[in-house]
Structure 1
């Protein structure tokens, strides 16, 4: 299975809740989103992601950080952002990166475990009216990487601030200490709970375990678990 974006937690709950109100048309997403936000549910899970080579990532500088040190491995500041457009120089170079598992002796995996409000992965920015800059403003379709965004459990007000920044043109939704942003060619996910609902390109999908990697500009997904 191949997708442009996959989302878990908040976004999986929104797409599931919205199915109850299809008669409302597109407005059902705002209604469902409000209901899910007010519940403020987080989920226990473990994510492992493949680290990219040293020098292939950017980090947000110390200035302007919110609520402590960011846990990030791939978020350039505004002056360093290169937007992916037609004939993009970065995409035209085409990544020479080997497939994630072609050289297992050279791979290094990092892990993040805890309670998450949402988990998102995308190969493009996914700009839309609710997120004018997209999930990640400088995402590139053909650089061989996906953007993994982990939103850890946090107070309601801070999560609202994050969503407000996401909805604002020129905002910084990744610039919070409870947000992890990683550029990676592959990751794995394992749920610790009984519920595990994903939003795959707008469709509901259930899986307790899955692995994902970039393949020909898309997220290639392999899932397992009792709910598949």
Structure 2
């Protein structure tokens, strides 16, 4: 039987009927070639279908040829992981082995990604039987070459299916293991990484150490994270779940979303970068105390939380910040009063440090200072520590909680963003914290789950860099806590409970 593959170009028709168009996905990063590839095929159950590959919109259309227009299914090219001449064993949408089965004559297997539920992504196999083996091979070559132009043991099976994807698996065993591995990587390995052209920060002439520098240039390198930590908050926020298969799917198909980043500076020098949450006071002390009980495993956090709650630490210092948007009223009229001996209030004629140019300040004894770069979804905060902070919305949520009792602190940590009147939240683009110099213990910071020492009597400065890092993920992962009514979303930069 002769091949039935047909190539059409825009405005052409099939048997007198124009080919139906599908809205182009704005997230697709693949440039279309133009024209349509069409073939009449059969399913493994011998039912006749027509498959159309729209190379302008990068969309696949599967239509059952039974005289009805109801049986029509479409997929985007950025939802296609790969095509294969042999089947890959799947178990509940997850490949069970990296080794493929025997080559099946005339059959081409499409592997599309789909959402199994509201959170988890899986693979779907769509087998298509062509009229000839050569026709099957022609479609496989065209699709495979198009995909190639796209800018742990369980997840390796996903990567091995994706054409042209080279990878190396490193099992991290300690804090900063991944960072040290990258720093010590040989030059020839760096040159083999796609998208990494040079040190973009130096090439753009921007001083990364200066907290007042303009927006940094986005590196030409995308990051993918598969959750294997204690909380997996970045993974859960970007993918809406810490499910390893979902993370692997997004990496394998090349999904992309841009994430805000916060840089931390001391003495005009960059010391750390955060893409998650920064906390001081009670949360910092819990992390510091837990380091003494690593032998207990994950339960050490609950044990240290109890010990820290009994101690109920507070730290006296000054927070200065600049709001993300101008307010219609003077924010000073809404802000709490500073406690006595405020170093900023006592400066005559100066509201803030001229070198940093912060607009507002607050001097108090704090139980918590919490800054969220992203919503920070964890098993303990399923709607996010900061539910209305976006992944890349260009703002930081800064919550300042003055000294509270042990009981009130337990209430706050249990409910978080509750109706507690001690909570004041600001949407900021930059801020700083400086502890009072007369404190013997200045405390520590919990920065993305790692300890950052607070210098005694010295200020740390925090600067937002909108959408600085590109992750393998989807914009739809931004959390929308529709079932939570205790916070009303507002355009204001100051959120009160």
Length-normalised TM-score, structure 2: 0.32
Distance in 2 between residues matched to 1:147 and 1:218, nearest whole Å: 17
Superposition pairs of residues 13-28 of structure 1, within 5 angstroms: 13-28=285-300
Superposition pairs of residues 160-179 of structure 1, within 5 angstroms: 160-166=410-416, 172-173=417-418, 175-179=419-423
Q: Is the 8 A contact 1:49 1:184 kept in 2?
A: yes
Aligned twin of 1:190: 434
Of 121, 143, 157, which aligns to 2:371?
121
- Alignment length (residue pairs): 169
Aligned twin of 2:450: 203
Secondary structure, aligned partner of 2:293: helix
Distance in 1 between residues matched to 2:407 and 2:300, nearest whole Å: 23
* Shift in Å, 1:55: 5.4
Q: Is the 8 A contact 1:121 1:146 kept in 2?
A: yes
Aligned twin of 1:226: none
Distance in 2 between residues matched to 1:108 and 1:215, nearest whole Å: 16
Aligned twin of 2:325: 53
Secondary structure, aligned partner of 1:163: helix
Cα distance per residue 1:44-80 (max 9 Å; x no partner): 0100010233359xxxxxxxxxxxxx859xxxxxxxx
Q: Is the 8 A contact 1:71 1:177 kept in 2?
A: no
Q: Is the 8 A contact 1:198 1:204 kept in 2?
A: yes
- What stretches of structure 1 of length at least 5 have no aligned partner? 57-69, 73-103, 167-171, 220-228
Structure whose alpha-carbon radius of gyration is higher: 2
Distance in 1 between residues matched to 2:280 and 2:291, nearest whole Å: 16
Superposition pairs of residues 1-228 of structure 1, within 5 angstroms: 1-3=272-274, 4-54=276-326, 109-166=359-416, 172-173=417-418, 175-192=419-436, 193-195=439-441, 196-208=443-455, 209-217=459-467
Q: Is the 8 A contact 1:116 1:152 kept in 2?
A: yes
Length-normalised TM-score, structure 1: 0.67
Q: Is the 8 A contact 2:324 2:395 kept in 1?
A: no
Query: Residues 137 and 71 (structure 1 numbering): CA distance in 2 closer, same or farther, change over 3 Å?
Result: farther
Distance in 2 between residues matched to 1:128 and 1:218, nearest whole Å: 23
Q: Is the 8 A contact 1:40 1:156 kept in 2?
A: yes
Q: Is the 8 A contact 2:318 2:362 kept in 1?
A: yes
Please give the root-mean-square deviation of Cα atoms over the aligned residues, in Å.
2.6
Query: Residues 108 and 8 (structure 1 numbering): CA distance in 2 closer, same or farther, change over 3 Å?
Result: closer
- What stretches of structure 2 of length at least 5 have no aligned partner? 1-271, 329-333, 337-353, 470-497
Work out which structure has the larger RCO, using CA pairs closer than 8 Å and 6 or more positions apart in sequence: 1
**Following TM superposition, where does structure 1 have runs of at least 4 consecutive aligned residues deviating by more than 4 angstroms?**
none
